[in-house]
Amino acid sequence: MKKKIIGLCAILLAVSGCGKIPTLDNGEEAVITFNNDHMISINELYDLLKETYGLDGLITLADTYILETEFEDYKDTARETADSNVDSFIESAGGEDEFLASIRQYGYQSIDAYRDLMYLSILQSHAIEEYAKLQITDEEIEKYYNEVAVGDMEISHILITPEVDDDATDEETEEAEEAAKKVIEEIIVKLDEAKKNGNDIEETFAELAKEYSEDEATKNDGGAIGKINYGSFDDKYDELISAAVDLKVGSYSTKVITTELGYHVILKTAQDEKKSLEELKDEIITILGEEYSEENYTSIGFNSLQHYRKEYGMDIVDDELAKQYSNYVQSAKASIQEAETSNS
């Protein structure tokens, strides 16, 4: 839709730049003329746009202005990310012609139009992240600091990944997962035996990592993955972080740890002192903001953009478009409420 609006605007600009502009008897400027002196006016085109693509295009223009202004320091990053993503899509498609053919079925008439959509989408995602941070209170920050925050931890791990083919059945997948878990359990038994015999656990762990771990980047370094903390990884690794928090320095996990990579046993090798609240505040706000986004995933996209539109005093002066926008807002709110009700 956006590209069609841009294309029609380009027609207007082209007409405006071609000398004297034809006018209808009522004084309206024409955008199309015929050899029988019939003309189609700018106002007719504008009315058509209002009834068809007007609201979508209007919101696109408004949000682009608002978000580029509010997050001016992020504009270059958003544009570079969009360009990089689109370039990757072009390469995967086999070239610009092939990619253009694939996106035309969705209404895009040029790759630049798709780049613009990607750019705005990235700006909107950034706006959502920043809006979520605004919802975090000082009380929540202090509570997190007192009850959750810890100093950075250094850990080593041994990773076993299930051997699963893309076309594996559910039964085959389950068998592969159980086999991987069994290997981790056997490693834990070996660590228990080493501990019982008074062997150096860190040295034993390093030997087992070299022998068993499927993390090629760390296995020859004793499985060391460096310092970690809450926020170091996404929430798919929360089980690993929580397990590390519960360990004393020099101890290893005695239960299988599951992440999206597979199954782990970890050894905690060091623990830093917790930083001050002031030092951790921004990091805590980011973590709590991510949690807020996840908890309010049905509404945060709409609410965040509404927040910034209100902050910038967005006022649609065209009565018809204002009515369309009001209907859009009410419809969106109803859909969100329905989704939240069904999820509760």
User: What pLDDT does 20 receive?
Assistant: 52
- Could you tell me if 114 and 169 lie in one domain? no
In this structure, the strands spanning 262-271 and 224-228 are unpaired
Give 200 or 12, the one with higher predicted confidence: 200
Is 146 domain-assigned? no
- Single out the residue of 299, 305, 288, 282 nearest to residue 334, CA to CA: 299
Give the integer Cα–Cα distance in Å for 74 and 68. Answer: 8
In tens, the pLDDT along 235-294 reads 778 899 999 999 999 999 999 999 999 999 999 999 999 999 999 999 999 999 999 999
Helix, coil or strand: residue 10: helix
Number of H-type helices and E-type strands within the chain: 13, 6
Report the distance separating Cα 330 and Cα 324, nearest Å.
10
Assign 233 a pLDDT band (cuts: 50, 70, 90): confident
C-alpha span between 233 and 153 (Å, rounded) = 13
Output the pTM of the full model.
0.74
Task: Give pLDDT tens digits for 45-72.
Answer: 777 777 777 788 889 999 999 999 999 9
Q: Would you tell me how many other CB atoms lie within 10 Å of the CB of residue 21?
A: 12
Category of 231 on φ-ψ map: left (φ > 0), alpha (ψ -120 to 50) or beta? left
- Residue length of the chain: 344
Q: Which of 271, 306, 328 is the last residue of a domain?
A: 271
In a domain, 55, yes or no: yes
**Average pLDDT over all residues of the chain:** 89
Helix (H, G, I), strand (E, B) or coil at 27: coil
Q: Is residue 138 part of a domain?
A: no
Residue 34 placed within a domain:
yes
Q: At what angle do helices 111-134 and 54-70 cross, to 10 degrees?
A: 60
Q: Are 252 and 264 in contact (CB under 8 A)?
A: no
The residues, ordered by sequence, that sit 6+ positions from 296 with a Cβ below 8 Å of its Cβ are 132, 303
Whether residues 261 and 187 share a domain: the answer is yes
Question: What domain range includes position 16?
Answer: 2-119
Distant-in-sequence contacts of 16-25, Cβ < 8 A, 24+ apart: none
Query: Could you tell me if 86 and 155 lie in one domain?
Result: no
pLDDT band per the 50, 70, 90 thresholds, residue 3: very low
Verify that 16 and 111 share a domain, yes or no: yes
Residue 155 has which token pair? 């850990």
Task: Tell whether 114 and 155 lie within a shared domain.
Answer: no
Whether residues 108 and 164 share a domain: the answer is no
Same domain, 14 and 109: yes
